[in-house]
Amino acid sequence: MSDDTLRWPGGWARLGPWRGQPHIAYLAVGSQRPPRADLVEQWLSTMRGRGYQRVLTNALAPAETLPFVDAGFSVHERLHLLAHDLHDVPEPDEPSRRARAADRDRVLALDGRAFKPFWRLDGDGLDQALAATPASRFRVVEIDAELAGYTITGRAERRGYLQRVGVDPAYQGRGLGRALVVDALRWLRRHRARGAVVNTQLDNDPALALYRSCGFREVPSGLCVMSRAL
Average pLDDT over residues 179-183: 96
**Same domain for 116 and 199:** yes
**Same domain for 24 and 119:** no
pTM of the model: 0.85
pLDDT of 3: 52
**Same domain for 141 and 116:** yes
Inside any domain, residue 40: yes
**Same domain for 175 and 135:** yes
pLDDT of 107: 98
Residue 30 has pLDDT above 80, yes or no: no
Inside any domain, residue 219: no
- CATH number of the domain bearing residue 72: 3.40.630.30
**Same domain for 107 and 62:** no
Inside any domain, residue 129: yes
**Same domain for 100 and 48:** no
pLDDT of 2: 40
Decide: helix, strand or coil at residue 118.
helix
Inside any domain, residue 26: yes
Confidence band, pLDDT 50/70/90 cuts, at residue 10:
confident
Q: How far is CA 46 from CA 43, 50, 51, in A?
A: 5, 6, 9
Please list the residues that pair with 98 across neighbouring strands.
Answer: 139
**Same domain for 10 and 112:** no
Decide: helix, strand or coil at residue 9.
coil
Residue 174 structural domain = 89-214
Average pLDDT over residues 135-154: 96
**Number of structural domains in the chain:** 2
**Same domain for 187 and 99:** yes
**Same domain for 112 and 62:** no
**Same domain for 107 and 54:** no
Inside any domain, residue 84: no
Inside any domain, residue 73: yes
The pLDDT tens digits of the residues spanning 188-205 come to 999 999 999 999 999 999
Residue 77 has pLDDT above 70, yes or no: yes
Decide: helix, strand or coil at residue 68.
helix
Inside any domain, residue 220: no
**Same domain for 117 and 24:** no
Decide: helix, strand or coil at residue 129.
helix
Inside any domain, residue 180: yes
As a whole number of angstroms, the distance between CA 35 and CA 67 comes to 7
Nearest to 114 by CA among 200, 28, 188, 27: 200
Please list the residues that pair with 11 across neighbouring strands.
Answer: 8, 31
**Same domain for 35 and 9:** yes
